[in-house]
Amino acid sequence: MLQLRIELAEHDYRYHVLDAPVVPDAVYDRLYQELVELESRYPRLVSPDSPTQRVGAAPAAGFREVAHGLPMLSLDNAFSREDLENFDRRVQERLDSAGDLQYSAEPKLDGAAINLWFENGELVRAATRGDGRVGEDVTHNVRTIHSVPLRLRGSGVPRLLEVRGEIFMPREGFRRLNEAAQKAGEKPFANPRNAAAGSLRHLDPRLTASRPLALFAYGVGTVAEGSLPPRHTEVLDRLSDWGLPVAPEAELVTGVAGCLGYYARMLEKRAELAYDTDGVVFKVNDVDLQARLGTVARAPRWAVAYKFPAEEQLTTVESVHFQVGRTGVLTPVARLEPVFVGGATVSNATLHNLDELHRKDVRPGDTVIVRRAGDVIPEVMSVLLERRPPQTSPVRAPERCPVCSSPVLRVEGEAALRCTGGSACPAQRKEALRHFASRRALNIDGLGSQLIDQLVDTDLVHKPGDLFRLTTSQLQQLDRMGERSATKLLEAMSRSKATTLERFLYALGIPEVGEATSKALARHFVRLSALMTASAEEFAEVEDVGPIMAGHITAYFQAPHNQEVIQDLRALGVHWSEEARPDDAGTAERPLKGKTFVLTGTLAGMTREEATARIEALGGKVTSSVTAKTSYLVVGDKPGSKLAKAEKLGVEVLDEGQLGQSILGVSEK
């Protein structure tokens, strides 16, 4: 039985990973059946990593949440040569580098991100990306994918290894799947990405097993009791040696010129690839340099996705209407004759603002070129004037809100039209509640867009706090909402009350304040009470907050209505751990307040992210560049040019031991 498992695993690797089988299918089937028969006779000897155990789990009732060892980050996008050059320039500046850098160049797969945990070489868990920190456990489904090894090959595998990759559906498999669906009278999938994501999250692993899914590994997360090579391309080679498939088109390139050459080659062969790709990814190849560059918000500073040009199609404008957002901004939207573009059927496309609408002069009846910008947002690119029907007229800006009939105001110097109805406008309330409940805000699971529409339309919810006053009986009055669904939603709302200050700030929807700014505000002020009484000058002291944004934040917290909303939410039990700090917490708890640190080189006892988190928790600030205002330069192994600059400016230099003992209050041990 052991010999059969080894032999079958080798054949799986050669067939699904190397695409170089050495035996006919009939021979494989005979060996597989022999193992099945032996395992049926000796069930106590069945091993979890046996090829026969890929399928067979009963359908799941749902997916439990799984925390990733390290966050699964998104990527910033580049859409032009200028964007790519700016990315390279920012990297060079942060590293104080003058020469061309080496980048790992890889195709950007169009599938579903996956996180694989291996312990002692055995696959023990698989999870979706989720919100980047917590995903859904899809282990049973992933085990059915033949290109995912149940046990890693070779030697030198770390005891714990977190592998990041993409689950996708090859084009040929997608074609066969849709042909079978059409023959069975079923609705075909729109594109391979949707098919892969839907298959991965199906509750019945047996259905997932029937889908032609595949894996390409592209990186790692947590590594414990083991080591990996110092270059990303070498890491990919090591993963391949251990039996994990990686994109064969991955290359090592040098400088912007090398990146552009790779992009051009991949764009040319895009249609010939066996899988869908919507661009290429460039990563700084040196892993130590990646650590020095760090991350911002949800994306690493050391990687960028250079997207391919969006697909374009012709269609007709049926009408132009105005949508109202959560801040009251009216956005013109073209309602289109449905057209398939960029892998999806598009029936609406943004016109951005009134100036853009008039510049393009889009009118009902026009034939237009529409594209999915970045393969995501449908956009009207231009009008074919030679096809314009007679007797059309330009679209005029509405004088009143199309939803609440309140007057529409255009602020001088701005392109935006705004509804003056505020919270009295149902459209603004709906969008504000969607934002409040979204995954990166209060994260109220189950509170979807259609349910929010019903809650507002039935006058059950007017402000965020009303969500927490809802009862089971009220929810049961809504469409498709039974007692069980209502109870689950109320439980999710109750769970969402335990949050963080940065999530709470983001959920409030303060104008111009996104996730990164919310995090910076929370770290700078620590307590909500300090935020609500701060002046514009104090807000301007926060990193990346300029005078205009500071004015928006100050005005928000000074508005009586917003103060009432915040007080209402706090009274209803929305809380976070930072608020438990005593009101007089000052230098005793934030001894590093006013101190600025720069980290350089590789730290031995902690990661740069851990050191940054510790410094910021004590009130300090970590920046990337050494200046005369820098308080300390913390030096690890291979510090680079920042050390010389610090010595020239007279900045105090600390090694890792001094940082731990004198600054963070921890011993070297």
| 18, 63 contact by CB (below 8 A) | no
CA distance 268 to 282: 18
Laid out side by side, the sheet with 303-307 consists of 77-78, 303-307, 277-284, 102-109, 251-254
Q: Which residues pair with 417 in a beta bridge?
A: 330, 410
State the DSSP H helix or E strand holding residue 140, giving kind and residue range, or none if neither: helix 139-142
**Would you call 412 exposed, middle or buried from its count of C-beta atoms within 10 A (0-12, 13-18, 19+)?**
exposed
Helices (H) and strands (E) in the chain, counts: 25, 24
Annotation says 108 is catalytic: yes
- Structure letter (DSSP) for residue 606: S
Residues with Cβ within 8 Å of 397's Cβ and at least 6 positions away in sequence, in order, are 354, 408, 410, 417
Amino acid at 32: Y
* Number of Cβ atoms within 10 Å of the Cβ of 232: 27
Distances from the Cα of 494 to the Cα of 136, 145, 443, 500, angstroms: 21, 37, 11, 14
The beta strand positions in 71-224, using DSSP E, are 77-78, 102-109, 112-119, 122-128, 134-136, 160-168, 214-224
The beta strand positions in 83-156, using DSSP E, are 102-109, 112-119, 122-128, 134-136
CA distance 651 to 535: 31
| 556, 511 contact by CB (below 8 A) | yes
Q: Report the Cα–Cα distance between both ends of the chain, in Å, rounded.
A: 47
Nearest to 317 by CA among 354, 343, 346, 359: 346
Catalytic residue among 108, 519, 642, 645: 108
Catalytic residue list: 108
